[in-house]
Structures are given as structure tokens and as C-alpha cells.
Amino acid sequence: ARAALAAAAGGPGRTADGTAVQLLANVGTLEDAERAAAQDVEGVGLFRTEVLFLDRSSAPTLQEQTEAYARVFTAFGDRKVVVRTLDAGADKPLAFVDVAAEENPALGVRGLRTARRHPELLQTQLAALAAAAKQTGTTPWVMAPMVSTPAEAAEFALTARAAGLETVGAMVEVPAAALRAHRLVAAGLDFVSLGTNDLTQYAMAADRLEGDLADLLDPWQPAVLQLVAATGSVDVPVGVCGEAARDPLLALVLVGLGVRSLSMAPAAVPAVRFALSRTSLATCRAMAEAALSADSPQEARDLAARSADPDV
């Protein structure tokens, strides 16, 4: 009990029986990152770099980007920093990227797909990340958003490694990528990170910006959990950086499905840390199995809660 209390009070995330589950921060701006660095988090699980590109008429230069990334790497020192390359399009429009209007922007040229039309944007960003890594003597984890196929994973991994980056991954936020996560990893990835916001949108065919569809957009949807399970069995680190990670009960289910890092707004970390500290890995797995047997988000919650420690 004393160990559980200590774990709940702070420090690295651990289940009651000692399985490490990293507790990381989602950050957008540099100020965000510097604030998060002062918190009790194990690093950054999602640095949304597109924020640096918003409200501008042209992309930040190689030098501007290098300085920005170096600031974030310096702030976190030896802690892990997962950087996502530019995720433009759909709900994140950029003035200088989306030239053609699209009928269905969420299904259009967004995320990594932007590099088909603007390869130079990705090249410059990867070069800046590599330069900042070198300057600061750090090894960032770099991942691409909206990867759908092993070919896209392979191409991104090759490009990132050619730019000098060592640890390369992909977000899993498209059902095709979740179902075939093993093949994406085999194409040359060192890690994957589930983006449950988009994964839910695409699994449920429900626009993430449409408030009237909130019931469908619930990450407890058993279909979404099944896609997480398909991803959770790969043999490289699996994280979650979508909103799902901040729900303590759901975080336990995610760990039961194979997830070993959870990235969220820093304010959400203590409650997730506490829930983990009360729960063994075996209980997390039992909760996951129970949730997968449900037919609705509410049933999944109820079944998972019934398997959990009553204090969680």
C-alpha cells in the first residue's frame, strides 16, 4: 500500500505490479512545451508541430524550425520527446498548403499525404529536426500523421532516416493502419502511436467536429477498442496520444490492450497515474477483455468498471 501511495504521488507511471506505463504530455506551442517541462511528466508524447505553421502566409524556414525544435528538446533534456511531422489539412488548414478545395477534407490530402504535393515541406522539417537533435545532443522520436499503408510507412521511415533521424514511427489513426499495424512496423518503424481522435472519427465514419455525433465519437466504442487491440500486439512500443488517454478508466483498458505510454494534457496525468498505481496488469487485461465484449460505449464502461479496483 505504501508503494502504491508513493506511485500515486508522483514519478513515472507504473501499474500496481510494476509494469512501466510512461505518462507523457501533449503540447502545441513552445510555451506549452516549456510549461509541460516543469510538470511531473516523463516527456512529450505528442508535439503537434503544425501549430508553428498556423497563422502564417509561408512555412517557417529551416532556421526558424531548428530553433523552435531545439528549444523544446532543451526543455526536456534526457526525457523522451515524440514529435509529429506537419499534420495539415481537414480540421487543421494552413494558408499555404491547401490550395485546392476538397469535397471531403477529412478524407483528402492531409497529414503525411500533404508531402505528395509539397515534399519540400517535409524535407525541410525533417532536416530541422535532425539539426536540432544534433545541436542539443538529444534523440527525438519522430512520427508521421495519417499513415495508411506499409508503403507510406516505409517511405516516411526512409526519408526520415536519410535526413539523419534515428527513431522513426507512425501514428495509427486510420483503421487500415490499425488492422495492419504489424505490416506497418515491418516496413521499418521503431514505434507507433495511436491517435484515438481520428481513429474514432474514421472507424465510426463520424466527423470529429460534429457535436451531434458525440455518441458515435466516443472512444469507448467497442469497434475502436478492437482496432487498438489489433495495434497493441506489435513488438515495438505502442502509445496513445488521443483524448482517450486522459480518461483513467479507459487508460487502464488501453494498457490491457498493450499500450505502454499515454500522452495527454499535463493536468490529466495525476488521475491516470493514481488509477495505474491501484491496478495490476492482469486486471487491466481483464478490464480490456470485458470492454471488448460490449456492444456499446456505456456497456464497455460498465463492464470495465466492474473489473476495476473500487477506488479507481
Q: Which residues are catalytically annotated?
A: 241
* Closest CB 301 distance from ligand PEP, rounded Å: 19
- Using rule CB under 6 A, residue 288 touches ligand PEP: no
Nearest residue (beta carbon) to Mg ion: 198
End-to-end, the C-alpha distance of the chain in Å comes to 14
- From the list Mg ion, ligand PEP, none, partner contacted by residue 196 (C-beta under 5 to 8 A by kind): ligand PEP
- Using rule CB under 6 A, residue 197 touches ligand PEP: yes
CB atoms within 10 A of CB 280: 15
Closest CA to 252 of 227, 233, 222, 274: 274
Q: Which of residues 182-211 bind Mg ion (CB under 5 A)?
A: 195, 198
* Closest CB 48 distance from ligand PEP, rounded Å: 5
Residue 263 contacts residue 26 (beta carbons within 8 Å): yes
Contact map string, positions 98 to 137, toward ligand PEP, x by CB under 6 A? ----------------------------------------
Residue pointed to by grid coordinates 483498458: 253
Which residue of 114, 138, 196, 261 would you call a contact of ligand PEP, by CB under 6 A? 196
Supply φ then ψ for residue 218, to 5 degrees: -75, 120
- d(CA 128, CA 4) in angstroms, rounded, equals 42
Judge whether 198 is annotated as a binding position: yes
Task: Please compute, for residue 126, the number of CA atoms within 13 A of its CA located in the half-sphere on the CB side.
Answer: 23
Our CB check for ligand PEP shows the closer of 65 and 85 to be 85
Binding segment for ligand PEP (CB under 6 A), chosen from 147-155, 196-204, 276-284, 287-295, is 196-204
Residue 303 contacts residue 249 (beta carbons within 8 Å): no
Our CB check for Mg ion shows the closer of 14 and 246 to be 246
Our CB check for Mg ion shows the closer of 181 and 287 to be 181
* Closest CB 173 distance from Mg ion, rounded Å: 5
Which residue of 43, 195, 239, 248 would you call a contact of ligand PEP, by CB under 6 A? 195
- d(CA 3, CA 280) in angstroms, rounded, equals 13
- Using rule CB under 5 A, residue 239 touches Mg ion: no
Q: Which of residues 144-173 bind Mg ion (CB under 5 A)?
A: 173
Which residue of 42, 98, 152, 173 would you call a contact of ligand PEP, by CB under 6 A? 173
Q: Which residues belong to the annotated binding site?
A: 48, 84, 173, 197-198, 208
**Residue ranges that bind ligand PEP, judged by CB under 6 A:** 46, 48, 87, 173, 195-198, 241-242
Q: Which residues belong to the annotated binding site for Mg(2+)?
A: 173, 198
